[in-house]
Amino acid sequence: MEEYRPHSWTQPPQSETEGASSCARTPRIVIERLYPELECGRYPVKRVVGDRFEVWCDLYRDGHEVLGASLLYRNAGAPSWTAAPLRLFDNDRWTGDFVLTRLGRVEYTIEAWTDLFASWRARILRKRAAGQDIALDLEEGRQLAAGATAKFERRGRAPAADEPELLLSEEFAAFMIEEGPRADVTRLAPARDIIVDRAEARFSAWYEMFPRSQGRVPGRSAHFADCVARLDEIAAMGFDTVYLPPIHPIGTVHRKGPNNSLAAGPNDPGSPYAIGSAAGGHDAIDPDLGTLDDFRAFVRACRERRMEVALDLAVQCAPDHPWVKEHPEWFVFRADGSIRYAENPPKQYQDIVNINFDSDAAAAIWEAIRDIVAFWIEEGVRVFRVDNPHTKPLPFWEWLIRTIQADHPDVIFLAEAFTRPKLMQGLAKIGFTQSYTYFTWRNEKRELIEYFTELTRDEPKDYFRPHLFTNTPDILPVFLQQGGPPAFRIRVILAATIAGLYGIYNGFELCENRALPNAEEYADSEKYQYKVWDWDRPGNIKPLIAALNRIRRANPAFADWLNLIFLPCDSERVMFYSRDNAVFIALSLDPFAAQEAEITLPLPSLGIAEHEDIALDDLLSGQTIHRVGSRQRIRLTPDAPALIFKVRTLQ
């Protein structure tokens, strides 16, 4: 069997002798334009369990010989391959597929060969049609099929009336695809990888809960028991993942006060991202929240409500984290002997010190962080939202994710990286399951269509899974600050219907939009102080969120976000799109005024004639609108900014 590495034959020979010897061994079969693959197999593509994995490639060789080919696949590390047939589609383009049935890494490659019997059969059929003598050709066919005819008959196949007719029959030809002799067997190398995740890697709704702000007593931290008390409400809104910012002890050195001030009072809790104190580090629980047993009870309570817990993995420390004393070589100290704190000028984080991945002790750092992840996995956590991964080495993340998923293929990693596009994509390529996006700052129709077309139609669709957060503890978008409750309705409808993964940060359902002047920061942010919320305060949009999540779960079209289709609409303030032309969404982007627009329904693709009476069943309001024709005039208001509907004919 030859090994085919794309373009290896194009390298110039070092000498005439070496060139002839080397090129004479080059496979005659060319395997090109494999899809899907990332950079000739350097990175894996991503799918979920149950997907039918479809592969395409170009296969050809010199001459007129007939090729055969298989799509080979196996679980990573398995000793043998399973073969699925490749079928000629058109013009030397071949395709094949198989179903992904288990979590973990799967390898796949292409094997092609010259099918000697099929080539003989094609040649002799042409000669017979031309009235030429085929007696000698039949003898050559008998030799190619030696032993196969008896096996054919033993399998219960009826023999033809005479041997030539058997050799040339369609049924025998199909049999010989597997049993016939092969030449020039060539396999594409190296094999490519697929990361096969669970369905929640592609479809999920997250609720970010700040644990210490779930209580009812002003000026005091909530307990995990208070968090449990809120789970029924969160479940009723339809969320399936409860995401917690860091729950570890908070440092006391340079602790921040309200609104990120440098002066913390004796009762100020500090930022949970300043991890570590005398009470412990990344494997400990903030004593104000409770104990490890209390956390376990919270995890169990989430499971009882069919939700799971996502934890923040923030690879940073407070100056009084135990690691600073135990492993000073893991950190950077300045010329005056002080430890270097984190900064991103003009921002300064005096309460946080970064781990030095350039340290000579880098291997020990890698293993320590792996052990932290493994610790929380043992405590029932299977989802990690990773804080600022773009500021740590990509080789570290690639190693960590692959190492963890080798033993726990159900673990999901979300990359919280708002940075340059290629770096965000690089994190997804090396293994992050999901990725934050620029969605937070995309508000106009044109830019939304361009961005989501790129993510659903271009190369990123095979590895970059966008997770749309409407807001975060660090980001209160200007659109929400200025647009009031209508803006909150618009953004949550957009996030929930345009992608498979979305989330809100607690307070969004209350339309909380108080910001610091000229900033995207929340005023009196709970990042730096205790907060007590009235979770039922007037003006909340909890019913809308619950309806959106119910619609998402009830309609399978939302589960595969790559089926997004943008549809014609004559207004720049109204978006019209569908999910696989099964559910249609018309959404106003204007939180201040009513908008009218003409939308065009794709009736031909639905098998509906232009003159037929149709019903638009609005999934939000429950109302049915009777119409005729593909062009429909609609009106959307700030209080009711969307129609989410199905189309059917009226009998």
Catalytic residues, which ones? 387, 416
Ranges of H-type helices in 305-393: 322-326, 362-378
List all residues 6 or more positions away from 477 whose beta carbon is below 8 Å from its beta carbon: 440, 441, 443, 471, 491, 520
Measuring CA to CA, which residue among 352, 608, 312, 636 is closest to residue 490?
Answer: 636
Quick one: which H or E segment has residue 128? helix 116-129
Could you count the other beta carbons within 10 Å of the beta carbon of residue 254?
Answer: 18
Helix residue ranges per DSSP H, 466-606: 478-498, 542-554
272 alpha-carbon distance from chain centroid = 28
Q: Burial-class residue 357 by CB neighbours within 10 Å (0-12, 13-18, 19+).
A: middle
From residue 364, alpha-carbon distances to 177, 367, 368, 374 in Å are: 54, 5, 6, 15
Interior/surface letters 328-356, b for 16+ CB within 10 angstroms, e for the rest: eebbeeeeeeeeebbeeeeeebebbbbbb
Supply 62's token pair: 């010199």
Both tokens of 602, joined, read 């794709």
Strands 316-317 and 347-354, by their bridges, are antiparallel
State the DSSP code for 368: H
| Pairwise CA distance, residues 246 & 26, whole Å | 56
Is residue 57 packed enough to be buried (19+ CB in 10 Å), middle (13-18) or exposed (0-12)? buried
Give 378's contacts (C-beta < 8 A, 6+ positions apart): none
DSSP state of 158: P
Q: Within 10 A of 574 (CB to CB), how many other CB atoms are there? A: 23
Q: How far is CA 357 from CA 277, 422, 432, in A?
A: 21, 21, 19
* CA separation for the pair 561, 101 (Å, rounded): 20
Angstrom distance (rounded) from CA 469 to CA 467: 6
Q: Is 11 left (phi over 0), alpha (psi -120 to 50) or beta?
A: beta
Half-sphere exposure of 567 (CA within 13 A, CB side): 27
Q: In this structure, are strands 383-387 and 412-416 parallel, antiparallel, or unpaired?
A: parallel
Rounded Cα distance between 359 and 423, Å, is: 23
Neighbours of 187 (CB within 10 A): 21
The residue among 581, 623, 196, 587 whose CA lies nearest residue 411 is 196
CA–CA dist 34, 94 (Å, integer): 10
Residue 617 dihedral angles phi and psi, to the nearest 5° = -90, 105
Contact 510, 544 (CB under 8 A): no
Between CA 214 and CA 223 the distance in angstroms is 8
